[in-house]
Structure formats: C-alpha cells, structure tokens
C-alpha cells in the first residue's frame, strides 16, 4: 500500500431535509482494496455517487492526491481516473462484447470515423484474457449468460485504466468460478497500485479481499481501519442499533392460530426458490432482507402481478390462481407497491378517484355500471378521516399535491376501501416523515386487531422489530430464517440477512447460535 490517494473530508448530503450522509471522513491509499459496507440506506450509494460525480455534496470536500476534487459530472470523474462499475448493467444487447467495451471511445482510422475492428477485437481479447475471462470478443451480448455480461461490464471499466475503481455488488450474477476470477483480477490490480472500493453484502468476501474497511450506518462512519481489526461479528454489530427516534404504537391483539395465507414452495428460476411460509389471522409478518434479496419479487408473485413457475399460494385453504391480480383482489388480497409514483397512484388525478381505483366496481349500480359518485365521495371521506389524511377538496385536488406521507395514505386507503383479508405492503414507510409513519403503524395494528393478516416488507430492522409479530429474513431469493417475537434482536436478524455470503465461513458453533 502506498500513499494517500483519496480523502473524504466532512462530506454531508441531505435529501428533502433528511441527512443521508453526515460528516463522512475517510482516507484511502494507493494500491489497496477498501471495503465499504453497511445495510440498506446506510449511505454507501450516496457516497459513491458523490465520488463518481453523479451528485454533489452539500458540505465538505474530496481530495484527490491532496488536490481538491470536485467533479461536475460523471465524465469529470472518468477524466480524473475514477471509474464506477454499477450494479445495473449499462450494456447493449445488440452489439458485440468488443463494441460494448469501446462504445464511447472507439479507436478509428486516421481522419475517418471507420472503426479499427481488428484492433478492438484484439484489445478486447487481450483484456478479457488478462482478466481470466473466456468470453469471445465477437460474441453478441445477448447471447451471454448474466454472469458473463457482468464480467463484460467489469472489463469495460477496467479498459479505462483508471486509478480508482468502485465496484458496487459485482458478484451478484457471477458463478463461483467467475467470482474467483474477479478476485484474482482485483488483487492483481491492487498489487499494481490501483485503489479499489469494494461494496458488498457478502461479508465473507470483504473479509477475504479487503485491506481496509469502513462500516457505515445512518450516514455516519461507525468504524474504519485495517481489515484485521474487524471480524464479521464486529462488522455486523457496528451496522445495527442506529440512533432511533421512532416510537411504535402498542399492538393490542395477538395473532390467531388460523392460517390466512399459505405459500408453498414458490419458485421462479433465477429469482426465488422454495419460498415457504404462512401468514395467520391478526398477524403482522415482517419480511426483511438486503436490497436485491428478492422480497419485492416474491410479493409480486404472490399477489399475481408477476408469474411464477412452481409452487402454490393458498388463501384460507383455497388455491389462489397465479398471475391474476383481479382474482387476488376478489379473494381479499391487497398490495401496496414499493414505488407509489410508478405503480401506486395516478398523480394528476383527483384524490377521490385514486382512492376509488380498486373498489370502484363496488360503487357501481348493478347493471348499468354507472359510478355512484356520491357514495364514492362519502366512503372516500370516511377512509380519509380514518387515515388522518390531511387534504381538502378530495374530488378536485390531484394526488401530486399531497406530501409523501399523505400520498402513501391514499395508496393504503384505496385498498382499505376493499376491506382486505391480507394486506401485502412493500416498503410502506419509505420516504415519509416520523409522524406519518406512526400513523401508518396504527393503521396496520388496527387492521390486525380486526383479524386481517399483514405482510410487511421493510429494509429497516428497527421498524420491523417494533411492529411485527414474526419476521422472515430473505437473502438471494431464498428464505434464510423465521424469527419469533421473543428472538427479535437486531444483530441476529441482520446476521441472517447477510448469511448467504457467510455460509462458506460459518463454523458449526456459529450456526447453532443463529438458530
């Protein structure tokens, strides 16, 4: 390891008044692999986006070789020798591997725009070989497997010969062999003096690979230093237990014995595998996992928005038809989607019409299917009161005029008008303020008291612990553990969520402890 190459000084950044990063101070050296870890929302992506020139910081500065570094955009970062390898692939299926690698800087023949095809094929071949990849440079990208495509994305970044590389969850689609190959590349680059920032949920990999590590939580650095000072347990304990201001309403009822929803062996190749669990009447079941664990995908399959290849879903013993949202709604299911803007609300449409979107057929006269506006308005007012929706003129004001918290209440409200038996909620408190969150929890408790079952997906462990009766933990498309209320601890749940990557390093003792 060499001299200091990059330094973050008091980096601070907020979104809509909420601090995403708070006085981040980190130093990175030349020729090291720097692990950056933390749970969802800890601030890793934000920090890297600032480094990569995608976002500006609000306060603080960055120093590159002790000079101030202030990129105006991603191209500035590139020019400064910083390459960001994102999780989402930015590749073109209809072009070859070589063309993808050189897409924005093709070497051309003197004075003409004609590409030196043989040159890019050769250079790509050399690059791929030096990285240990057996991919043909002339292959069309669409013919490659997901892991191979990810390798091409990595090769593309490495062809830029940068000084600092940021890898964001690079191994998600890679086979074990490809992962080993990647690690060899990273170690070689490190030995050549490059700096690599490695973001990953697979703590075992970070333990093996990194020279130094930094643990983020709630936008702050909880600990950083040489990897030898950090065991996996220590990493996890640093990640949990944030400064938590949320108060949770007390749940009055306890879950009943009757099973409401039963999921058996739900599978979809590549996405989820052997999902088995039950939801009981009056129960609030939380689903925790790191981003990309497959929770949303699983929920969408259960509800019927997306198809699945194997398994069954039963509601009170009755088989639920798959890929049929209409049938699901009829049988009493409801689904509050993750993104209210994309899939939850009609932004330009009045609130009352948004509230009526699901239950509308119930407000129509039997044969003529004319909407009974008066009845709809009344019901809308009722549910709006029940939810403490702060809005006037429900029949005129569009959904977009509401605050985030109130928008979320409208989304929940439209499902409540159908009095669901099972309410599936995907990140119901994302992007809403503390007070609104409390109100949402109250609504959830109220529904459970009345005998409904609630499946709540969330990325905030503390929230799930405060609200749920049981918590299911998912990772890489599979269920890892189910925690009963007595066993709720942040560390245990977090460890379970990170577990997929730890199987190789877990000893017998650890496993007993987890169970």
Nearer to another protein, 224 or 337 (CB): 337
Minimum Å gap between C-beta 106 and another protein is 5
Which span (28-36, 41-49, 107-115, 229-237) binds another protein, by CB under 8 A? 107-115
Q: By CB under 8 A, tell whether 431 contacts another protein.
A: yes
Minimum Å gap between C-beta 162 and another protein is 15
What phi and psi, each to the nearest 5 degrees, are found at residue 371?
-75, 130
Q: By CB under 8 A, tell whether 499 contacts another protein.
A: no
Strand pairing class (33-37; 195-199) = parallel
> Which of 17, 18, 67, 104 is close enough to bind another protein by CB under 8 A?
104
Per-position x/- string for 432-471, each x denoting binding to another protein as judged by CB under 8 A, each - no binding: ----------------------------------------
CA distance 87 to 104: 19
CA distance 376 to 380: 6
CB neighbour list of residue 357: distance below 8 Å, 6 or more residues apart: 346, 414
> Which of 396, 449, 485, 487 is close enough to bind another protein by CB under 8 A?
396
Q: By CB under 8 A, tell whether 305 contacts another protein.
A: yes
DSSP 344: I
DSSP 350: B
Q: By CB under 8 A, tell whether 407 contacts another protein.
A: yes
CA distance 361 to 235: 52
For 489, counting Cβ atoms within 10 Å of its Cβ (0-12 exposed, 13-18 middle, 19+ buried), the class is: middle
Which span (395-403, 435-443, 461-469, 482-490) binds another protein, by CB under 8 A? 395-403
Query: What residues are paired with 457 via a beta bridge?
Result: 287, 426
CB neighbour list of residue 126: distance below 8 Å, 6 or more residues apart: none
3-state secondary structure 284-310: EEEEEECCCCCHHHHHHHHHCCCCCCE
What part of residues 39-98 is at the interface with another protein (CB under 8 A)? 74-75, 90-95
CA distance 372 to 360: 9
Which span (57-65, 110-118, 124-132, 251-259) binds another protein, by CB under 8 A? 110-118
> Which of 23, 163, 273, 430 is close enough to bind another protein by CB under 8 A?
273
> Which of 402, 448, 455, 479 is close enough to bind another protein by CB under 8 A?
402
> Which of 9, 115, 139, 391 is close enough to bind another protein by CB under 8 A?
115
Nearer to another protein, 75 or 184 (CB): 75
The interaxial angle of helices 146-158 and 117-130, nearest 10 deg, is 100
Nearer to another protein, 73 or 225 (CB): 73
> Which of 111, 113, 317, 509 is close enough to bind another protein by CB under 8 A?
113
CA distance 428 to 299: 13
Structural contact between residues 132 and 188, judged by C-beta atoms closer than 8 angstroms: no
What part of residues 351-380 is at the interface with another protein (CB under 8 A)? 353, 356-358, 360-361, 364, 368-371, 373
Nearer to another protein, 226 or 373 (CB): 373
Minimum Å gap between C-beta 306 and another protein is 9
Nearer to another protein, 47 or 336 (CB): 336
Q: By CB under 8 A, tell whether 325 contacts another protein.
A: yes
> Which of 25, 81, 106, 244 is close enough to bind another protein by CB under 8 A?
106
Minimum Å gap between C-beta 204 and another protein is 13
CB neighbour list of residue 416: distance below 8 Å, 6 or more residues apart: 383, 386, 387, 443, 447
Nearer to another protein, 329 or 471 (CB): 329
* Run of H or E residues at 481: strand 478-484
Minimum Å gap between C-beta 112 and another protein is 8
> Which of 403, 442, 489, 505 is close enough to bind another protein by CB under 8 A?
403
* Run of H or E residues at 207: helix 203-209
* Run of H or E residues at 479: strand 478-484
Tokens of 96: 């070859």
Strand pairing class (453-457; 422-426) = parallel
In Å, the largest CA–CA distance within the chain is 79
What part of residues 474-493 is at the interface with another protein (CB under 8 A)? 476-478
Minimum Å gap between C-beta 442 and another protein is 21
Per-position x/- string for 175-214, each x denoting binding to another protein as judged by CB under 8 A, each - no binding: xx--------------------------------------
Residue positions counted in the chain:
515
Q: By CB under 8 A, tell whether 321 contacts another protein.
A: no
Instruction: For the chain, state the CA radius of gyration.
Output: 25
Minimum Å gap between C-beta 123 and another protein is 15
225: number of Cβ within 10 Å: 11
Minimum Å gap between C-beta 311 and another protein is 15
Q: By CB under 8 A, tell whether 419 contacts another protein.
A: no
Which span (37-45, 167-175, 187-195, 383-391) binds another protein, by CB under 8 A? 167-175
- Residue 156 has, within 13 A of its CA and on its CB side, a CA count of 26
Q: Return the closest-CA partner of residue 33 out of 188, 202, 231, 264.
A: 188
Query: What residues are paired with 8 via a beta bridge?
Result: 26, 62
Q: By CB under 8 A, tell whether 309 contacts another protein.
A: no
Q: By CB under 8 A, tell whether 139 contacts another protein.
A: no
Nearer to another protein, 298 or 465 (CB): 298
Nearer to another protein, 103 or 247 (CB): 103
């Amino acid at each position: 390891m060499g001299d200091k190459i990059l330094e973050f000084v008091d980096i601070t950044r907020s979104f809509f008044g909420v601090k995403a990063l708070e006085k981040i101070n980190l130093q990175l050296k030349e020729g090291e692999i720097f692990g950056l870890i933390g749970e969802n929302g800890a601030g890793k992506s934000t920090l890297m986006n600032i480094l990569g020139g995608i976002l500006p910081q609000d306060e603080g500065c960055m120093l590159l070789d002790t000079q101030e570094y202030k990129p105006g955009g991603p191209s500035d970062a590139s020019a400064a020798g910083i390459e960001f390898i994102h999780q989402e692939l930015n590749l073109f299926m209809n072009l070859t591997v070589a063309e993808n690698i050189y897409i924005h800087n093709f070497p051309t023949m003197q004075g003409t725009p004609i590409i030196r095809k043989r040159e890019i094929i050769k250079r790509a071949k050399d690059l791929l070989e030096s990285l240990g990849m057996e991919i043909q440079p002339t292959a069309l990208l669409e013919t490659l497997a997901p892991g191979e495509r990810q390798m091409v994305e990595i090769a593309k970044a490495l062809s830029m010969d940068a000084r600092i590389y940021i890898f964001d969850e690079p191994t998600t689609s890679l086979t074990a062999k490809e992962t080993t190959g990647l690690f060899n590349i990273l170690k070689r680059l490190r030995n050549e003096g490059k700096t690599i920032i490695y973001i990953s949920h697979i703590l075992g990999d970070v333990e093996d690979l990194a020279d130094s590590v930094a643990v983020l939580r709630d936008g702050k650095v909880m600990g950083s230093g040489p990897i030898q000072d950090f065991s996996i347990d220590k990493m996890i304990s640093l990640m949990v237990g944030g400064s938590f201001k949320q108060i949770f309403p007390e749940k009055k009822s306890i879950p009943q014995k009757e099973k409401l929803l039963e999921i058996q062996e739900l599978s979809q190749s590549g996405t989820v595998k052997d999902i088995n669990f039950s939801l009981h009447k009056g129960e609030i079941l939380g689903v925790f996992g790191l981003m990309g664990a497959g929770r949303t995908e699983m929920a969408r399959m259960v509800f019927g928005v997306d198809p699945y290849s194997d398994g069954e879903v039963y509601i009170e013993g009755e088989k639920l038809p798959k890929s049929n949202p209409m049938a699901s709604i009829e049988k009493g299911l409801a689904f509050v989607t993750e993104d209210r803007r994309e899939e939850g609300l009609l932004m330009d449409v009045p609130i009352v019409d948004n509230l009526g979107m699901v239950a509308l057929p119930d407000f129509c006269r039997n044969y003529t299917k004319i909407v009974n506006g008066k009845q709809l308005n009344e019901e809308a007012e009722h549910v709006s009161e029940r939810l403490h929706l702060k809005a006037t003129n429900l029949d005129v004001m569009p959904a977009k005029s509401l605050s985030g918290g109130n928008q979320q209440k409208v989304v929940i409200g439209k499902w409540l008008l159908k009095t669901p038996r099972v309410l599936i909620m995907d990140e119901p408190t994302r992007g809403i303020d503390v007070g609104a969150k409390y109100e949402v929890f109250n609504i959830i408790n109220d529904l459970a008291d009345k005998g409904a079952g609630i499946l709540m997906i969330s990325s905030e462990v503390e929230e799930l612990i405060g609200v749920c009766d049981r918590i299911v933990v998912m990772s890489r498309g599979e269920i890892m553990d189910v925690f009963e209320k007595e066993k709720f601890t942040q560390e245990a749940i977090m460890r379970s969520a990170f577990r997929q990557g730890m199987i190789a390093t877990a000893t017998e003792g650890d496993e007993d402890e987890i169970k």
